[in-house]
Each structure stands twice: as C-alpha cells, then as structure tokens.
Amino acid sequence: LPESGVPQLVQPMIWDYAADFDVESKVQLVEKYQRCGFSKVWFASAFKGATGVNQSLTLIGHHLKNHLQWLKVASSSPPEVLEGIALTGWQRYDHFSVLCELLPVAIPSLAICLQALKNGGYSEKIKEDVEKLLGMPNLEIDTFMR
C-alpha cells in the first residue's frame, strides 16, 4: 500500500455508529492506517438515522454515547493523525425505503453531539446550555422526546 502512492492521495474515514463500539480496536485501526502511510484519518459518527430503518424519533442518548466513544478514540490516538469527525445524519437506508428520523426531530441530538465534541465530553452544564439554546425546558437524553 505505501508503494502504491494511495496514502498520499486520500484520507481514510473510519465509520461506526454503535453506542458501545470497541475503542481499542479503533485505536489499533488508526495506528494501522498510520503505519501504511496515511498521515491523516477521519472518523464518522451519526447524530440521527443510524438506529433503525423505520425509526421516526431520535434517541439522543445512543448518539451521544457514540460521540463519547469517538472522543475516547481521539484521545488515545496520536493527535496529529486525526483530521476531523463527520457527523452524518442518515434519512433513509436505501432509495426504496421511507424516510426515517427527519431533521426537525433530530436537531436536539445534533446540538448535544456538537457540544459534546466541542467541549471534549458531556456534562449537565452542556445539557442545560443546549436546553437554553433550543428553548426546551427538559431535553430527554435517554428516552424519546415527547
């Protein structure tokens, strides 16, 4: 792979939307890409649409946990290798499926996930800040929004 020249042309993106993925295996994957000559890698998470083809509401806690896992990978990887994280927001699983988790119901999840990434973690203060920003008195993290 290093002799092919590909590592100088592209930056790989490591995708995982699970709330409890194995951090160590992702760190090892980053190191493997680095050994192959890739100077930068991207991570890909999801703030909506990755939990079920017919999901209509966004379970914020699932996506928040996913982002917290990615923060662990970032903190355990060489800092110079991470180029960024792409927050995906899937709306359909294939072109023949109905839409799932439309953007308006997922905005609170996007806000929480962005703030967790920006602040390097999650706290009650972050939750309160997002509630204030969105004008929502009680943002439900571990249950579906009512």
Is this prediction's pTM over 0.75? yes
Say which residues have a Cβ less than 8 Å from residue 16's Cβ, sequence separation at least 6.
Answer: 26, 44, 45, 66, 69, 70
pLDDT tens-place string over residues 46-60: 999 888 877 888 999
Tell me the two tokens of residue 75. 């903190």
Which of 38, 55, 49, 42 has its CA nearest to residue 110? 49
The model's pLDDT over 88-106, given as tens digits with 9 standing for 90+, comes to 998 887 888 888 888 998 9
User: Hey, what's the torsion of the CAs at 109, 113, 119, 122, to 10 degrees?
Assistant: 70
Q: 15: which DSSP letter?
A: E
Residues of the chain with pLDDT under 70: 144-146
Owner of token pair 């982002």? 67
Q: What is the pLDDT of residue 44?
A: 97
Give the pLDDT confidence score for residue 48 in this predicted structure.
Answer: 94
Q: Helix crossing, 103-119 with 60-76: angle to 10°?
A: 30
Q: What is the pLDDT of residue 94?
A: 80
Reading the block at residue 116, the tokens are: 């967790």
Q: What is the pLDDT of residue 146?
A: 52
